[in-house]
């Protein structure tokens, strides 16, 4: 069963993080949604956070994980929000189980295919030797040779924890994610369609959703609208949380 943190009471809102992220990344926004009458489920997807590790990885499997999660918690219908990789999971789940999704929110990802583009990050993470690295500071120093942007390194190193006394490790399953990295950018199946209300959010400084992508979005999600979150890149929910929160709430409450 997927690990989650459940906050508040009210209408269920399930939130799925992106690649190499975890549910804790959404804790601040999750608290804000809970104050507005939502029972917020911050979910760790397989091979991430505190959820189970598996050699197998695909969006079909992650959609099945989500269905099992909903059945376990007795959730009949939910609002579903996914960022990046989590958005791909959310899209596929909504097309497979439309009756279970009241409204769908997709953050900075389109239904199209994305070529692999995480190799430098994965190379850096795999190069870390926890036999000699004994602190987050040391890990950050080593990782800087591969990843120059400090905020990206800080995001990744939130996954560090003490596996046992004096032995650091990552919460995500680095081996499985490295092996299956080509699956991360998979396109939504051509025939997949969800006819419910859908909101796509793009960061103004991100190139993940292009104007031309409106065509493929509408093919899969006929009732979709796309809104730009200003002064934000791919991590739009972290870079402009107020506009992100206000925009999502307006959509949910409409």
Catalytic residues: 84, 234
3-state helix, strand, coil in the chain (%, to 5): 40, 20, 40
DSSP classification of residue 204: T
Q: Are 224 and 199 contacting, i.e. CB atoms less than 8 angstroms apart?
A: yes
Helix 59-72 / helix 85-96 crossing angle, nearest 10 deg? 70
Q: Are 160 and 49 contacting, i.e. CB atoms less than 8 angstroms apart?
A: no
The number of residues in the chain equals 254
Find the distance separating the first CA and the last CA of the chain, reported in whole Å: 33
Q: 64: which residues sit within 8 A by CB, 6+ positions away? A: none
Instruction: Answer positive or negative: Cα dihedral of 134, 138, 139, 145.
Output: negative
Strand partners for 106: 82, 200
Q: Are 19 and 43 contacting, i.e. CB atoms less than 8 angstroms apart?
A: no
């Amino acid at each position: 069963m997927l690990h989650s943190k459940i906050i508040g009471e009210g209408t269920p809102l399930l939130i799925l993080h992106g690649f190499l992220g975890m549910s804790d990344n959404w804790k601040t926004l999750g608290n804000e949604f809970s104050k507005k009458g939502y029972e917020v489920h911050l979910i760790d997807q397989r091979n991430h956070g505190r959820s189970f590790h598996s050699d197998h990885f695909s969006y079909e499997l992650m959609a099945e994980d989500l269905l099992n999660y909903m059945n376990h918690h007795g959730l009949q219908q939910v609002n579903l929000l996914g960022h990046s990789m989590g958005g791909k999971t959310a899209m596929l789940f909504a097309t497979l189980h439309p009756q279970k999704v009241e409204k769908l929110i997709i953050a900075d990802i389109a239904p199209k295919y994305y070529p692999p583009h995480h190799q430098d990050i994965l190379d850096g993470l795999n190069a870390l030797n926890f036999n000699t690295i004994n602190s987050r500071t040391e890990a950050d120093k080593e990782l800087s040779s591969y990843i120059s942007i400090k905020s990206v390194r800080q995001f990744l190193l939130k996954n560090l924890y003490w596996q046992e006394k004096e032995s650091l490790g990552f919460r995500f399953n680095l081996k499985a994610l490295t092996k299956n990295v080509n699956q991360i950018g998979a396109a939504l199946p051509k025939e997949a369609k969800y006819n419910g209300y859908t909101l796509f959010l793009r960061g103004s400084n991100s190139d993940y959703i292009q104007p031309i992508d409106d065509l493929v979005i509408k093919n899969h999600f006929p009732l979709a609208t796309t809104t730009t979150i200003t002064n934000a890149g791919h991590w739009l929910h972290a870079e402009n949380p107020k506009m992100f929160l206000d925009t999502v709430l307006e959509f949910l409450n409409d």
